[in-house]
Amino acid sequence: MKPSGKASVLAAALAAAFGPALAADEEPSIAQLKTPESEASLGVGYVSDDNQRFGQYNGLNEKGGYLLLDADVVRRNDETGTWLRFSGRNLGLDSRELRFEQERQGNWGYFIDFSQIPRFDPYTVNTGLQGIGSTNQAQTLVTPGAGSEYHFSTERKRWTLGGNKTLLPGLTGDVKYRTEEKKGDRLWGQGTFGNWRFLADPIDQTTNQVDATLAYSAGKLQLTGGYYGTTFENRNNVLNVTNVAPLGAPPFTQMALPPDNQSHQLHFAGGYNFTPTARGTFKVAVGRITQEEDFPTAAVAGAPGNLGGRIDTTLAQAGFSARPLPKLSLRADLRYENRDDKTPTFIYYPSQRTATSTNNGENEPRDIKTLSGKLDASYQLPNAFKLNGGVEYVEKKRNSPPVRSVSFRETTEETSLSVGLRRAIGESMTGAVSYLHGQRTGSEFLTNVNFGGTLYSNAIAPLHLADRDRDTVRATLNWAATEALALNFRADLSQDKYTGRTTTGFELGPRKGEGQFFSADGAYTFSERLQATAWASHARNRYENALCPESGAPLTCTNSAASPVWGDKLTNTDTSFGLGLRSQLTAQLKISADFTQSDVRDEMNTFAISPAGALPGGALAVLPDINTKVTTFKLYGDYALRKNVGIRAQWIHDQYKTDDWTWQNWVYNDGTTITQDPNQKVDFFGVAIYIHL
Amino acid sequence: MKALLQALVLLVALTAPAAAQQPRKDMVLTGDAQCTRCHNEGDEFPVLAIGKTKHGTVADGRTPTCTSCHGESNLHVNRPADAKERPKPDRTFGKTSKTPMDERSGACLTCHQGTTRMHWQLSAHAGNEVSCTSCHQVHTQHDRVRDRVTQTEVCFTCHKEQRAQLRRPSRHPIAEGKVACSDCHNPHGSVGPKMLVRDSVNDTCYSCHMEKRGPFVRTHEPVQEDCSICHNPHGTTNPSLLKVRPPFLCQSCHEPDSHHSTIPNNGRATLPPGASTNQAVIMARGCVNCHTNIHGSNNPTDGGGGRGFRR
């Protein structure tokens, strides 16, 4: 294989640069075939335009050139089984990753890992707000569009250290520590009726995680136990807000920021193979979450200096799987989880204790206790049919404050039954169909009363508490139609029906949910050197809700032309497809291409339920659909100049289109505007030279 | 000269049988000789690259040989005279394999049952005819599913709805490899719901979003219970991975008293400062325009706005 023209010149230059690495081509020896490979690449990239979507997480968000530098260097001492690995990915970008690890396999190992995760906010902020990035911000009135322009971003920098050691045969210790700094700004705000102000959330946080385990494994028995601890530290605990005249006073002068908190958990788990086909497992864990940061703002006299937040958690699980008969498999699982919120209560908001208030001014600890059980069975029938069936039960118990603004039931129970049939037809086709029916119900809803004891609204069964019937049907087909052609089809249909509460003759709150999903995948192998793939999917999810403005005492639906009972029907439709091509055109040249497109439409239809046809003053005007279209084309080429040296080139074209109107024309009372480019097109070109070391 | 040639022929004749009887040397794994006498890198099933992997690190006495996974396969090695085709090895792992899935996984679990694979047998994967080699490639240095950038290619083989969701505007950085499926899910089984790596949905989310944990002076019940009541972590068209856009999401739980039943209004018309509540509940950040600290507020100061997560 003799490269020609410019490639030869480049190869000669590389030979001069890399010397022995460019040894003459030769058939690989056995030693080479079993020696771990290493690779490093160096190149440049170019982004054609500033963009807010394509580069949101990869750091390629600004027009200009970028350094493309990657490395994966692996060395193994075959005599001792000691691995040494250094890997770096995207080293020239803000999304860089670095890792160094050394391991004597089966004995000890350690690693250090760095990862940087940028997030560039997809919006452009134009504001007069002063003090962005600090905890003292002054709202300033500007003419819309005449303020300063900002592109917010956050960045996480994560370091992870870890090590392991085989202490005794079958006994291994493993420790991992991760610390992450997150800094930056994100869109925020504050408001009250008719007065919405912009703020920038100043983020300066550190999270730490320690995971230490001891694991024992010997034949039929495996055990593991350990400690998992986390801490969250926020250097900004309150945002102080002022105003600059002529803008009036802010709705609130102090905005709480997330408080420091921590968690500790001890866990112990195990598994035992009673027979080659029967196994039991368990896990128990106890934990504690605490939040004791001193309040940064003034509390009422007599209040504690901090919340003294404490949540104790308990988990117990036991599982069993067996094949009591050659054709029968059984699996059972029982799980108990208790979140016991032991945070002391105190009347932090005494001014709220008025007759018509929907809270009693206390903080509200939340207990949640979950008990679940599951039993699955499958049986091999004649003619390659396999029958599956299962039952699952989930019971959740929660507590509630005595005065509340949202309806509540203390217990929900959900039972799900499933049945499925799978069949393998020859070696080329497998089909499966399954049906699941779930029913959620629970205890009576508690009666909502105001702090003064009078009846409050009792109309809605909240989404996660409502009685619900769920039906799901799923069908899949895998078909190797020919040696070259493989096809896969899938269809999911689901429906949720919410019932259980009626007020003034109307069923309000969540009413219905529907889901449909269809997909088809195909792969065709033209030859060893050319393969093509194609896929398409279509999903439609619909959710329906009903509401009514309330009035009177007790509160009931007003049900008038001016204040009708109304509903909304939200439909999300996603049509996506992709095409792919992988080819090796010559011994040196590989080309691959991928094209994907997603087209998503959100429809938000509001309509009058009663009085029929009521459209008061355009209040039920049709909300425009929101359409989002993402199109990506990627073309990669890889040309081998030598057996261990080559050039890779890539071109990515990305287009993001949206008609999202929810920020368009929105102006904060301080004049802040937030916009995004509705049609973003960007091209990325990259070329890099790589060498196998 | 003739005598010399005769001596050489005699030497060859004497030594040849001895050489033929010498055991073949292993090529990669300890004890692989009986396999590698036929299977090499030019074979239909190239095998030698396993030497580049941890399985091929023979200095570690725990590493397997071919028959550890594929079985002794006597009929495959010694093809019966009357067999039209050479019988397959005892255990095979390819697409057309007839080896039962639990037996394929069993070969791996012989060594890998512990730690994060403790609960494999109860996992949704094991219950749906997925074996270890459905996802993992054993005879290659670069196992796609263990690489954060290429992992989704493997997961999307079955999880096709997520393939489309991950391309939506509100998403985790999964396409960039900064978050991988396995950061949240343990595909080998766990005691958490949906095979999550931690024991609950919230504990899994708190791994990266610890600021939402609290507890707070003012807590929001569904936030404390399950993040996935409101969020779809795989991607949505609504901001902040919300399943449904405010106010519709909030109106799914809140009593219709006061402004809670506000009918959202089209905000396309030019909007001077001082929007109507109908517009403010759906435009910009929707209900969160006011209820800023929706995950909980630790502001203890008495007065208005505290209970509504507004300050």
The pLDDT tens digits for A571-607 are: 999 999 999 999 999 999 999 999 999 999 999 998 8
Contact B255 A460 (CB under 8 A): yes
Burial class (CB in 10 A: 0-12, 13-18, 19+), A569: middle
Under the banding of pLDDT at 50, 70 and 90, the label for residue A617 is: very low
B contacts of A341 (beta carbons < 8 Å): 215, 224
Tokens 């003064």 belong to: A452
**Token representation of residue A385:** 């049919």
Report the candidate in A441, A339, A446, A340 with the shortest Cα–Cα distance to residue A394: A441
Residue A362: Cβ within 10 Å count: 19
Residue A11: the pLDDT is 42
**Taking a C-beta distance cutoff of 8 angstroms, is the pair A85, A99 a contact?**
yes
Residue A613 confidence (pLDDT) above 80: no
Residue A32 confidence (pLDDT) above 90: no
Q: Which tens digit of pLDDT belongs to each residue from A448-505?
A: 999 999 999 999 999 999 999 999 999 999 999 999 999 999 999 999 999 878 887 8
Residue A6: the pLDDT is 40
pTM: 0.93
Of B221, B255, B273, the CB nearest to A459: B255
Residue B247: is the preceding peptide bond cis (ω within 30°)?
A: yes
Residue A23 confidence (pLDDT) above 50: no
Contact B251 A547 (CB under 8 A): yes
Taking the C-alpha atoms of residue A101 and residue B43, their distance in angstroms, rounded to an integer, is: 34
Among the ranges given (A19-28, A50-59, A227-236, A351-360), the one the predictor scored with the smallest mean pLDDT: A19-28
DSSP strands (E only) in A585-625: 589-610
DSSP letters for A257-284: -PPPEEEEEEEEEEEEEEETTEEEEEEE
Contact A252 B310 (CB under 8 A): yes
CA A294 from chain centre, in angstroms, equals 31
Give the rounded percent of residues in chain A with a pLDDT score beyond 90.
87
Give the rounded percent of residues in chain B with a pLDDT score beyond 90.
75
> Mean pLDDT for chain A?
93
Under the banding of pLDDT at 50, 70 and 90, the label for residue B18 is: very low
Angle subtended at Cα B111 by Cα B108 and Cα B116, rounded to the nearest 5 degrees = 85
Burial class (CB in 10 A: 0-12, 13-18, 19+), B281: buried
**Taking a C-beta distance cutoff of 8 angstroms, is the pair A106, B61 a contact?**
yes
Q: Which tens digit of pLDDT belongs to each residue from B169-222?
A: 999 999 999 999 999 999 999 999 999 999 999 999 999 999 999 999 999 999
Q: Which residues contact A274 (CB under 8 A, 6 or more apart)?
A: A220, A280, A322
**Token representation of residue A107:** 């004995």
A contacts of B273 (beta carbons < 8 Å): 144, 667-671
Report the candidate in A284, A156, A263, A287 with the shortest Cα–Cα distance to residue A210: A263
Torsion angle defined by CA atoms of residues B113, A323, A416 and B118, in that order, rounded to the nearest 10 degrees? -10
**Taking a C-beta distance cutoff of 8 angstroms, is the pair A36, A5 a contact?**
no
Residue B79: the pLDDT is 92
Residue B207: the pLDDT is 97
Residue A14 confidence (pLDDT) above 50: no
The SS3 call for residue A485 is strand
Length of chain A measured in residues: 693
Residue A554: is the preceding peptide bond cis (ω within 30°)?
A: yes
Taking the C-alpha atoms of residue A184 and residue A117, their distance in angstroms, rounded to an integer, is: 12
Taking the C-alpha atoms of residue A657 and residue B111, their distance in angstroms, rounded to an integer, is: 50
Among chain A residues, the shortest Cα distance to B149 is held by A89
Tokens 């992709």 belong to: A578
Residue A262 confidence (pLDDT) above 80: yes
Taking the C-alpha atoms of residue B287 and residue B294, their distance in angstroms, rounded to an integer, is: 9
Tokens 């505290």 belong to: B306
B contacts of A258 (beta carbons < 8 Å): 211-212, 298
**Taking a C-beta distance cutoff of 8 angstroms, is the pair A137, A665 a contact?**
no
Residue A2: the pLDDT is 38
CA A631 from chain centre, in angstroms, equals 22
Contact A321 B122 (CB under 8 A): yes
Residue B15: the pLDDT is 47
Under the banding of pLDDT at 50, 70 and 90, the label for residue A20 is: very low
Of B49, B176, B275, the CB nearest to A33: B49
- Distance from B78 to chain A by nearest Cα, in Å? 25
Contact A259 B216 (CB under 8 A): yes
The helices-and-strands tally (H runs, E runs) of chain A is: 2, 34
**Taking a C-beta distance cutoff of 8 angstroms, is the pair B289, B301 a contact?**
no
Residue B43: the pLDDT is 74
Of B229, B274, B310, the CB nearest to A463: B229
**Taking a C-beta distance cutoff of 8 angstroms, is the pair B95, A424 a contact?**
no
**Taking a C-beta distance cutoff of 8 angstroms, is the pair A137, A240 a contact?**
yes
Taking the C-alpha atoms of residue A235 and residue A259, their distance in angstroms, rounded to an integer, is: 9
Residue A29 confidence (pLDDT) above 90: no
Taking the C-alpha atoms of residue B182 and residue B151, their distance in angstroms, rounded to an integer, is: 9
DSSP letters for B27-61: SSSTT-HHHHTT--TTSSS--GGGGGSGGG-TTST
Taking the C-alpha atoms of residue A55 and residue B115, their distance in angstroms, rounded to an integer, is: 37
Q: Which tens digit of pLDDT belongs to each residue from A59-73?
A: 999 999 999 999 999
Among the ranges given (A548-562, A625-639, A657-671), the one the predictor scored with the smallest mean pLDDT: A548-562
Of A191, A323, A661, the CB nearest to B290: A191
* Inter-chain CB pairs, A–B, below 8 Å: 429
**Taking a C-beta distance cutoff of 8 angstroms, is the pair A646, A18 a contact?**
no
Taking the C-alpha atoms of residue B124 and residue A434, their distance in angstroms, rounded to an integer, is: 14
Taking the C-alpha atoms of residue A87 and residue A74, their distance in angstroms, rounded to an integer, is: 8
Q: How many Å from the N-terminal Cα to the C-terminal Cα in chain A?
A: 20
Of B115, B285, B300, the CB nearest to A299: B300
CA distances from A534 to A37, A492, A521, A649 (A): 31, 20, 6, 23
The SS3 call for residue A525 is strand
DSSP strands (E only) in A399-466: 411-425, 429-442
Contact A293 B267 (CB under 8 A): no
Contact B255 A405 (CB under 8 A): yes
Of A234, A339, A537, the CB nearest to B211: A234
Average pLDDT over residues A504-518: 94
H or E element that contains B105: helix B101-112
Contact A289 B215 (CB under 8 A): yes
Residue A22: the pLDDT is 41
Residue A116: the pLDDT is 97
Residue B27: Cβ within 10 Å count: 20
Interface mutation target, options B111, B219, B255, chain A, most CBs of A under 10 Å: B255
Residue B227 confidence (pLDDT) above 80: yes
Q: Which residues contact A175 (CB under 8 A, 6 or more apart)?
A: A162, A163, A164, A210, A211, A212, A213
**Taking a C-beta distance cutoff of 8 angstroms, is the pair A409, A445 a contact?**
yes
**Taking a C-beta distance cutoff of 8 angstroms, is the pair B158, B129 a contact?**
no
Among the ranges given (A19-33, A342-356, B186-200), the one the predictor scored with the smallest mean pLDDT: A19-33
- Distance from B309 to chain A by nearest Cα, in Å? 9
Taking the C-alpha atoms of residue A25 and residue A39, their distance in angstroms, rounded to an integer, is: 17
Under the banding of pLDDT at 50, 70 and 90, the label for residue A122 is: very high
B contacts of A238 (beta carbons < 8 Å): 299
Q: Which tens digit of pLDDT belongs to each residue from B253-297?
A: 999 988 999 989 876 656 666 788 889 999 999 999 999 999 999
Taking the C-alpha atoms of residue B212 and residue B208, their distance in angstroms, rounded to an integer, is: 10
A contacts of B207 (beta carbons < 8 Å): 209, 230
Residue A563: the pLDDT is 86
Taking the C-alpha atoms of residue B282 and residue B262, their distance in angstroms, rounded to an integer, is: 10
Of B96, B253, B267, the CB nearest to A406: B253
- Distance from A9 to chain B by nearest Cα, in Å? 32
- Distance from A613 to chain B by nearest Cα, in Å? 15
Residue A33: the pLDDT is 86
**Taking a C-beta distance cutoff of 8 angstroms, is the pair B259, B247 a contact?**
no
- Distance from A34 to chain B by nearest Cα, in Å? 4
Residue A100's φ and ψ, nearest 5 degrees, are -125, 130
**Taking a C-beta distance cutoff of 8 angstroms, is the pair A110, A82 a contact?**
no
- Which is it for the CA torsion B255, B258, B262, B268, positive or negative? negative
Torsional class of A69: left (φ above 0), alpha (ψ -120 to 50), beta (otherwise): beta
Q: Which tens digit of pLDDT belongs to each residue from A266-301?
A: 999 999 999 999 999 999 999 999 999 999 999 999
Give the rounded percent of residues in chain A with a pLDDT score beyond 70.
95
Contact B122 A658 (CB under 8 A): no
- Distance from B303 to chain A by nearest Cα, in Å? 6
Residue B21: the pLDDT is 55
Taking the C-alpha atoms of residue A625 and residue A298, their distance in angstroms, rounded to an integer, is: 45
Among the ranges given (A13-22, A567-576, B166-175), the one the predictor scored with the smallest mean pLDDT: A13-22
H or E element that contains A27: none
Residue A15: the pLDDT is 44
Of B244, B283, B292, the CB nearest to A190: B292
Taking the C-alpha atoms of residue B90 and residue A490, their distance in angstroms, rounded to an integer, is: 32
**Taking a C-beta distance cutoff of 8 angstroms, is the pair B28, B56 a contact?**
yes
B contacts of A376 (beta carbons < 8 Å): 127
Of B28, B272, B310, the CB nearest to A190: B310
- Examine the predicted complex and report whether its ipTM is higher than 0.85: yes
A contacts of B110 (beta carbons < 8 Å): none
Residue A17: the pLDDT is 44
Among chain B residues, the shortest Cα distance to A52 is held by B169
Burial class (CB in 10 A: 0-12, 13-18, 19+), B77: middle
Under the banding of pLDDT at 50, 70 and 90, the label for residue A441 is: very high
Residue B267: the pLDDT is 66
**Token representation of residue A114:** 């760095």
Under the banding of pLDDT at 50, 70 and 90, the label for residue B4 is: low
